[in-house]
Structure formats: C-alpha cells, structure tokens
Amino acid sequence: MLTVHHFYRNEMEAALEDNHAAIILVAQVGAQREEVLARRNVATVLLHLGDWEAAKQQVEEGLALARDLGAKRFIAGFLHNLGSVLAASGQRLEGEACLQEAYGLICESL
C-alpha cells in the first residue's frame, strides 16, 4: 500500500520534471521571466525533497536571471531560499547575509 508520504514524493517529482521541461522550453525562446518562475518552482521542490545541492544550483541560476531582470521580489525570494540552503548546509553566516539582503529588498518595496 502507498503511503501519503510516498504519494507526496511522487507528486513533487512529477512537478520537478514538468518544471525542468519548462526551463528548457522558455530558455529556448528567451522568456527570462518565465524561466525565473520555473527555476523558482524547481528550487522550491528540491528544497522540499531535501536535495540541497541541486536546490542551491537552481537558486543561484534563478537569482542571476532575476538580477538581470531587476526583479526585486524574485531576487528576494531566491535570496531567502539561498539563505535557507546555506544555513541548512552549515554556512550560517553566509545564509544570514542572504536573508538580511532579502529582508532589505522586501522593506524597499513596501
């Protein structure tokens, strides 16, 4: 019998596959905003699955795109995720710096 946890993991992995495919498609047509959204989704799923290294890679790539677009809300979101990944991997000071930067961007937008 499948458990709820197993079902949840399958759904998360399906979402991961869909969003990876979206990244490829939107990158081919140069839709950077949509690529940022897809990378944010992938990073979030990877964080939920506990795949810190893959999540960090997606966050860093998404953060670079968000910075290129000047999209402060997305930058703040990626910085929050990066801070969480860094803190979880034992890099607390670096993680705190990312979280502080994210907080600053959020305060600017209020």
pLDDT 10s digits, 23-74: 999 999 999 999 999 999 999 889 888 888 999 999 999 999 999 999 999 9
Instruction: Specify the pTM.
Output: 0.86
User: CB–CB of 36/65 below 8 Å?
Assistant: yes
Cα distance between residue 65 and residue 35, in whole Å: 8
72-88 vs 32-49: helix crossing angle, rounded to 10: 20
Q: What are the structure tokens assigned to 8, written together? A: 């949840």
pLDDT digit string, tens, across residues 75-99: 999 999 999 899 888 999 999 999 9
